[in-house]
Amino acid sequence: MRQTSAGIDNIPSAATIDGMNHLKSIRERLGITQQAMADGIGCTQGNVGHYERGQTLPPAMARKLIDFCASRGLAITFDHVYGGAPLAENLTAAAGEVSHG
């Protein structure tokens, strides 16, 4: 774990990041283009394309992705980015929360 000004984050170690990420499915779930994703996380559209094709998504960029998704109503964690955690069915459902409605 790493201490940050916002608290302790469960940032995965380099050993757990093998180039596999779920950026494309997250982007598609948000219904946005690679360029919109790039603008939201502070990189180029080309970077997003590389990440979607398997280039390792650095933990700092994953953190930006998590924050960007939260601002768009999709609560995700590092497990959603690097692991197999399923995405919420609707954009307002937070990770691990039950939707009442």
Is residue 46 classed as helix, strand or coil in its secondary structure? helix
Of the pLDDT bands very low, low, confident and very high (cuts 50, 70, 90), residue 88 is confident
Give the domain ranges of the chain: 19-93
pTM: 0.72
Q: What is the CATH number of domain 19-93?
A: 1.10.260.40
**Burial (CB count <10 Å: 0-12, 13-18, 19+), residue 46:** exposed
Report the C-alpha gap between 61 and 4 in whole angstroms: 15
Of the pLDDT bands very low, low, confident and very high (cuts 50, 70, 90), residue 5 is very low
Which position has the token pair 């919109």? 36
Q: What is the mean pLDDT of residues 74-78?
A: 94
Give the number of other Cβ atoms within 10 Å of residue 80's Cβ. 24
Cβ–Cβ under 8 Å, residues 20 and 54: yes
Q: What is the mean pLDDT of residues 51-65?
A: 94
Average pLDDT, the chain: 79
Cβ–Cβ under 8 Å, residues 30 and 72: yes
